[in-house]
Amino acid sequence: MKSKSEVDNAYAFCLNLAKSHYENFPVASIFLPRKLRQPIAAIYAFARTADDFADEGDHPLADRLNLLNGYSQYLTDIANQGYQGNDPIFVALEDSIKRFNLPVTLLEDLLTAFKQDVIKSRYATFDEVLDYCRFSANPVGRLLLYLQGEPTEHQLEQSDAICTALQLINFYQDIVQDYTEQNRIYIPQEELTKIGINEVDLICPETHKLAPILRSLYLRTESIMSKGVELGLTVPGRLGWEIRAMTLGGITTLAALKQQSDVSLLQRPRLSRKRIFAVLMNSAIKMRYKQIVHKFS
């Protein structure tokens, strides 16, 4: 059993890791109470580092999978005899799992997505992309809800809608980066083929060829997000605020994507401090949040 100081140091490591990465969506926000910031940071650190394993530059495929399988083994250890190592991420994660009774299967689902990233780089249909989101994004939202207690099935479904939409939005922001740096394409292949788009068009946005597909994807993502926007109003306290902020952050980013001109279709919109502040304030005031999402849905 780890000492309190070891656990506290492990959480501090995870919080620093979370703060060191820019995200359009709040992660382990300072507006959350310490009780929730710590486990959220542990979950984030776990997911962030596992994602990095999947993207390990020129490392052989087998090495990347071995690293991810090592994480799977640590999860198995936590579920059985307990984690015996000293990795601060798993020291913190084990404490969070035990204190909040988090389903370890959700963390393993995340690893399933990262392992898929290693071996799969193209998706034939939109449904295939959605299935990927089921493992890569939805478990995070479900874990957040379990931090608050036992969520209802409806809340879990709303969370899945939000997380899937956020993951899709992230794909749309990183089309060029995913293709040029990781040779991954999350735009459905059948939709690219249907209108005669080649992969090279992903790095030639001046052709405007992607515009019809992106507009269609944006509309579908809006529809998915609309199914979950009420979730943050049903979760009490600061976690509800955090969920509203994450949701509104996604809506704001999607709106920025839609407003881009054809020439800049594939540029990542970076939310300014002013817009992030507006997201947080509009999320804090429930009536204002209701007005915004009512227009959206």
Q: Domain boundaries in the chain?
A: 1-119, 120-297
CATH code of the domain occupying 1-119 = 1.10.600.10
Q: Which residues of 139-165 are buried (b: 16+ CB within 10 A; e: fewer)?
A: bbbbbbbbbbeebeeebbebbbbbbbb
Chain segment 172-192, per-residue pLDDT in tens: 988 888 998 889 999 999 999
120-297: in CATH 1.10.600.10 = yes
Identify which of 41-45, 265-269, 276-280, 290-294 has the greatest average pLDDT.
41-45
Please check whether the two domains, 1-119 and 120-297, share a CATH topology: yes
- Does the pLDDT of residue 67 top 90, yes or no? yes
Instruction: Say if pTM beats, i.e. exceeds, 0.85.
Output: yes
Q: Of 19-28, 65-74, 224-233, 272-281, where does mean pLDDT reach its minimum? A: 19-28
Q: Are 102 and 146 in contact (CB under 8 A)?
A: yes
Better-predicted residue by pLDDT, 166 or 31? 166
Calpha distance 162→141 (Å, rounded): 8
Nearest to 90 by CA among 31, 36, 45: 45
Are 251 and 297 a contacting pair, CB within 8 Å?
Answer: no
What tens digit of pLDDT does each residue of 89-119 get? 999 999 999 999 999 999 999 999 999 999 9
In angstroms, the Cα distances linking 56 to 11, 64, 286, 292 are: 25, 7, 42, 40
Q: Give the C-alpha distances (Å, rounded to integers) separating 109 from 127, 147, 171.
A: 18, 17, 19
pLDDT at 28: 46
